[in-house]
Amino acid sequence: MYQPNLLLTKELSKNYIKKFELLFSLLKLPKEPFKAKRRPPHPKYALLNALIYKNLRSVPTLLELTREIKNYPQVAQICGFSSFPSIERFSSFLKDTPNQIFQVTRENLAKELIGLSQINGRYISADSCPIKANVKENNLKTNVPNRFDKARIPKGDPDARLSAYAVFPDKKKVQFFWGYRNFILNDAVTELPIAEITEPANIYEQHLIIPQLKYVKKVFRLPIDAVLGDSAFDSYNIIEFIVKGLKAKPVIPKNPRRSKDPNIRLSRKGIPTCVAGFEMVSKGKFYDKEQNRVRHKFVCPIKAGKKFARKVGWFCPWNHPKFFSNRYGCTTNLRIDVDTSIRQNIDYGSQTFKKLYNLRSSTERIFSRLLSILMQRPSVVGLNATRNICTIAHITVLAIALAAVKTGHKNKVRFVKSFIPNL
């Protein structure tokens, strides 16, 4: 059916094609049985191979991918096609295939790398990156009323949601977008992704890290020593899970927005003290409905008891403004549904903490490589299709790393775009 040497350029030589064959042989995707009553489908593994080829060749759209396969028949052969696929086949494949199928392939690659001691998992870093949807609201050259109104869902992609990310041209600036977020956990030393998940952009990363850490611990059984993250992960629940659930060290800087007074001082009895150094008085426990947590309220001791006021004076020694404007004076709320002492034992200013936190930049470099294979510029619409595009991008990165290890090039596990041309 094919003419093997037809239209082969120097860039797509026989040797170049064999390198792709080596890469595709590392992937394990189950074949589906053929039903005789309908048109023979293209094998899923062939479609996956073609999409990985698209990533490594930086082919921007599915339409251009189908054109390149038709122009170079040997590409269709090495991918596993018996006929030329149409763009509708790729669109249906990405839209209708459950993401779990690709997750199994990604998981198998990660397990092989762990088995070859390429990934040790001692230091795990967490972060997320924005995935902009293909909607006109994201194109600032178009005229769209209420462009960033979160109640107005884009017609071009109903699954996309509104969020924001920081940009740093000269100073920090927040930019809004419609789309999704890809959240990853990676090995901070080898800079290889271990787990990933894509959700609508309005799902915050701090809600995903605990389930993903549980998944990594259960499936890969990694000896995690520390979990690295930015201040967005500064939460009592996350820190407590890392310390008690993983027996690891949380390397997460303080987020001053997490508390009205992040520097609460406690007496030897564990009772909060006010700015004047007095132990505050308990006013009982209450349930905070807005934040779904239980708190213990403490108030100014002078306002709470006349006996203490007669002893130290009827006015605040510091003349605190809240003493006169508030019924209870200065107040402090402590959470009692978590162990707040864990955060107090973290040495944020130590050199060890700073050295480990510097490893978090590995995640930024991983996203840079994923960007180079067009993960952040998907040519699809919908949550499931976007999830599949992101997972296939991670499969591409892990497949390159595994090929580098198995061919004796461990120093090139991160050469995503240049590994095959230089192999």
Average pLDDT, the chain: 88
Residue 76 falls inside a structural domain: yes
293 half-sphere exposure, CB direction, 13 A CA radius: 14
pLDDT in tens, 306-315: 889 988 888 8
Looking at the fold, whether 133 and 240 belong to one and the same domain comes out as: yes
Of 239, 253, 243, nearest to 354 by C-alpha is 253
Looking at the fold, whether 127 and 225 belong to one and the same domain comes out as: yes
Query: Counting beta carbons within 10 angstroms of the beta carbon of residue 264, is it exposed (0 to 12), middle (13 to 18) or buried (19 or more)?
Result: middle
pLDDT above 50: residue 6: no
Across the range 134-155, mean pLDDT stands at 92
Looking at the fold, whether 236 and 201 belong to one and the same domain comes out as: yes
Check residue 3 and give its pLDDT: 43
Of 210, 204, 222, 139, nearest to 178 by C-alpha is 139
Looking at the fold, whether 264 and 363 belong to one and the same domain comes out as: no
For the chain, the residue count is 423
Q: Which of 50, 70, 97 is the last residue of a domain?
A: 97
Looking at the fold, whether 221 and 361 belong to one and the same domain comes out as: yes
State how far the Cα of 149 lies from the Cα of 40, in Å rounded to an integer. 45
Percentage of residues in the chain having pLDDT higher than 70 = 91
Looking at the fold, whether 290 and 164 belong to one and the same domain comes out as: no
Q: How far is CA 128 from CA 193, 301, 376, in A?
A: 12, 45, 12
Across the range 376-387, mean pLDDT stands at 92
According to the 3-state scheme, what is the secondary structure of the chain?
Answer: CCCCCCCCCCCCCHHHHHHHHHHHCCCCCCCCCCCCCCCCCCCHHHHHHHHHHHHHCCCCCHHHHHHHHHHCHHHHHHHCCCCCCCHHHHHHHHHHCCHHHHHHHHHHHHHHHHHCCCCCCCEEEEEEEEEECCCHHHCCCCCCCCCCCCCCCCCCCCCCEEEEEEECCCCCEEEEEEEEEEEEEEECCCCEEEEEEEEECCCCHHHCHHHHHHHHHHHCCCCCCEEECCHHHCCHHHHHHHHHHCCCEEECCCCHHHCCCCCCEECCCCCEECCCCCECEEEEEEEECCCCEEEEEEECHHHHCHHHHHHHCCCCCCCCHHHHHCCCCCEEEEECCCCCHHHHCCCCCCHHHHHHHHHHHHHHHHHHHHHHCCCCCCCCCCHHHHHHHHHHHHHHHHHHHHHHHHCCCHHHCCCCCCHHHHC
* Domain count for the chain: 3
Greatest C-alpha distance within the chain? 101
pLDDT in tens, 45-68: 999 999 999 999 999 999 999 999
Residue 294 falls inside a structural domain: yes
Residue 104 falls inside a structural domain: no
State how far the Cα of 164 lies from the Cα of 166, in Å rounded to an integer. 7
Q: Which of 50, 68, 97 is the last residue of a domain?
A: 97
Residue 18 falls inside a structural domain: yes
175 bridge partner residues: 165
- pTM of this prediction? 0.84
- Residue span of the structural domain in which 65 resides: 14-97
Check residue 32 and give its pLDDT: 56
Residue 421 falls inside a structural domain: no
Residue 121 falls inside a structural domain: yes
Looking at the fold, whether 83 and 218 belong to one and the same domain comes out as: no
Check residue 192 and give its pLDDT: 96
pLDDT in tens, 101-130: 999 999 999 999 999 999 999 999 999 999
Check residue 421 and give its pLDDT: 81
State how far the Cα of 153 lies from the Cα of 382, in Å rounded to an integer. 13
